[in-house]
Amino acid sequence: MTRAISLHDVSKTYTRGVRVVDRLSMDIEPGEFLVLLGPSGCGKSTVLRMIAGLEDITEGQLLLDGEYANDLVPAARHMAMVFQNFALYPNMTSRGNIGFPLRIEAPGEDPGPRVDATARMLGIQDLLDRFPAQLSGGERQRVAMGRAIARHPSAFLMDEPLSNLDAKLRNHLRAEIAALTRQLGVTTVYVTHDQAEAMSLGDRVAVLRGGVLQQLGTPRSVYALPRNIFVAAFIGTPRINLLRGLVRAPLDGAMTVSLGKQSLRLPEPLCLDHQLLRVQQGREVIVGLRSEAIRLAKPASARPGEVAISGLVEHVEFQGHEILVHFNTGSRPAVVPDLEAPRPAARPSRRRRRDGGSVLGRFRERAGALRAGPPVMLDEPEDAEPEPDPSDTRLPGDLVVRTTPDIDLRRGMQVPLLVDIAHLFVFDQHGERICPAPTRLPDLEG
């Protein structure tokens, strides 16, 4: 029997006051495959361990099938956990490892039939008499999964089970996990920092940052409508292009978003999302463009809603089935400091606090601490060069475009580009998405 899992304002604080999970709320439906995604150290595994009963919950409630379960011992939760490091007993064969929890749960019963059935399901019948030292990494992970499956649990909890495997085997086992969980129909909570795993496995994806839930939704909706700049930058390969822009909305002219030396002219009549951008007149914003929202073509071949710009080729990455071209368009990239860090960097204070330690002041401080995503550096002087970020491994150029491998491009070439304004993201100075509006999903069929 599978089960529903609900977290209501769950927090975890360690003895020194370090809060690693902060007011997390989510409902996991019976039979759902939910992926917890985020950078290392963001609280994903802690959430998983709290669901399993291996970590105490500091605040909030855990409900299993609607019943309070904070104080329920792990054995009474009827869940099975698959660990990152396999955790097999080295002195037991694969048969012994798979059957060990069955012997503990029912000492008088023969675990053999269930072990054999599980082995057939996973295709490891010929490995049952081998010890872990005689198995490859992928075979050990199959045995670890078999140990979990044989128990017929109400939920699977998987903590980065594929991270220690090579890329080819990881992709193969990813497909096996997806097929197996669909076949069993058991609620699964899967932890990973690999967005490819999250997008291909999950019915829904929960993106975490510093212990705070940033966004929860289907892989398609999280990719198509990122709630903030952190989600937009963390999801997607190559990383979304983030450029500093300035909204210009004259009463007697077309609305444009200036990107430095070039501008994006918004097509008229303005859609509702672009009309709402008028309130940003004269303000700096962050423009987000996925690599597939831009194509290499001359202005004469522009389709409705496409705007022409040009770029200087800085670098070409050959990927086999495609190439990634890095262009210099004269724009200024928006810096998201420490994007891969588990916790947002503290925003430096530039003015004295007038509210001191008042309740309102503490509320504002709290709200700032929970703001989605790290601060975005848009407040340095125009002529100041941003300090280099050690974690920033971007190649030269400010715009990355995905295109077909049959196009011959060389460094230094000036190339015409067409930007699809329908797939334009705009974020405010705090990294919150302001365009498109959060109530509408853009058309992704084109």
pLDDT per residue as tens digits for the range 288-297:
999 999 999 9
pLDDT, residue 342, reads: 57
Asked whether residue 313 is domain-assigned, the answer is yes
Q: Which helix (H) or strand (E) holds 222?
A: helix 219-224
Does the residue 71 lie in any domain?
yes
**In the chain, what percentage of residues exceed pLDDT 70?**
84
* Same structural domain, 33 and 100: yes
**403 and 338 belong to one structural domain:** yes
Q: Please give the residue that has the higher pLDDT: either 144 or 389.
A: 144
50, exposed or middle or buried, with CB in 10 Å at 0-12, 13-18, 19+? Answer: buried
Task: Give the pLDDT confidence score for residue 388 in this predicted structure.
Answer: 47
- Tell me, yes or no, whether 90 and 191 share the same domain: yes
Q: Are 156 and 142 in the same domain? A: yes
Beta carbons of 171 and 163 less than 8 angstroms apart: no
Residue 353 has pLDDT above 50, yes or no: no
Could you tell me which of 267, 238, 190 has the C-alpha nearest to residue 393? 238
State mean pLDDT over 363-387: 44
Q: What is the DSSP string of 417-429?
A: EEEEGGGEEEE-T
pLDDT value at residue 268: 87
- Classify residue 304 by burial, with Cβ atoms within 10 Å: 0-12, 13-18, 19+: exposed
Domain finish residue from 182, 204, 229: 229
Residue 40 to residue 61: CA distance in whole angstroms: 25
Is residue 446 situated within a structural domain?
Answer: no
Q: Spell out the residues 6+ positions from residue 366 whose beta carbon is closer than 8 angstroms to its own.
A: none
Q: What is the mean pLDDT of residues 313-318?
A: 93
Q: What is the mean pLDDT of residues 98-108?
A: 89
End residue of a domain, out of 229, 252, 269: 229
Report pLDDT for 95.
94
- pLDDT for position 385: 46
Q: HSE on the CB side for 356, CA within 13 Å?
A: 2
Closest CA to 262 of 312, 218, 337: 312
Higher pLDDT, 348 or 439: 439
Whether 253 has a pLDDT exceeding 90, the answer reads no
272: helix, strand or coil: helix
Coil, strand or helix at 308: strand
Structure tokens at 212: 């705070």
Q: pLDDT grade, residue 249 (50/70/90)?
A: confident
Report if residue 150 sits inside a domain: yes
Number of domains making up the chain: 2
Strand 294-296 and strand 284-289: the pairing is unpaired
The predicted structure's pLDDT at residue 256: 92
Give the lowest-confidence range in 11-20, 197-206, 301-310, 378-387: 378-387
Together in a domain, 182 and 199: yes
Of 27 and 151, the structure prediction assigns the larger pLDDT to 27
180 and 271 housed in the same domain: no
Distance from C-alpha of 264 to C-alpha of 49, rounded to nearest angstrom: 48
Tell me how far apart the alpha carbons of residues 368 and 373 are, in angstroms, rounded to a whole number.
10
Give the confidence band of 445 by pLDDT, cuts at 50, 70, 90.
Answer: very low
Confidence check: pLDDT of 363 > 50: no
Q: Which of 207, 229, 251 is the last residue of a domain?
A: 229
Length of the chain: 446
In a domain, 361, yes or no: no
Q: Looking at the structure, do residues 258 and 222 belong to the same domain, yes or no?
A: no
Distances (CA, A) of 154 to 76, 148, 187, 248, 426: 11, 11, 7, 56, 42
CATH number at residue 300: 2.40.50.140
Which residue from 145, 160, 144 is spatially nearest to 42, judged by alpha carbons?
160
Whether the pLDDT of residue 376 is over 60: the answer is no
Q: Identify the domain containing residue 240 by its residue range.
A: 230-348+396-435
Q: Indicate if 253 and 321 belong to the same structural domain.
A: yes
Alpha helices in 53-192 (DSSP H): 94-105, 112-122, 137-149, 167-184
Going by pLDDT thresholds of 50, 70 and 90, the confidence category of residue 421 is: very high
The predicted structure's pLDDT at residue 341: 56
Same domain membership, residue 243 and residue 108? no
- Clarify whether residues 129 and 32 are in a common domain: yes
Least confident of 224-233, 315-324, 340-349: 340-349
- Residues 157 and 271 grouped into a single domain: no
Please check whether residues 213 and 74 belong to one and the same domain.
Answer: yes
At 94, which CATH number? Answer: 3.40.50.300
Query: To which residue do tokens 């490891």 refer?
Result: 124
Residue 383 within a domain = no
pLDDT at 6: 96
Give per-residue pLDDT as tens, 64-82.
999 999 999 998 999 999 8
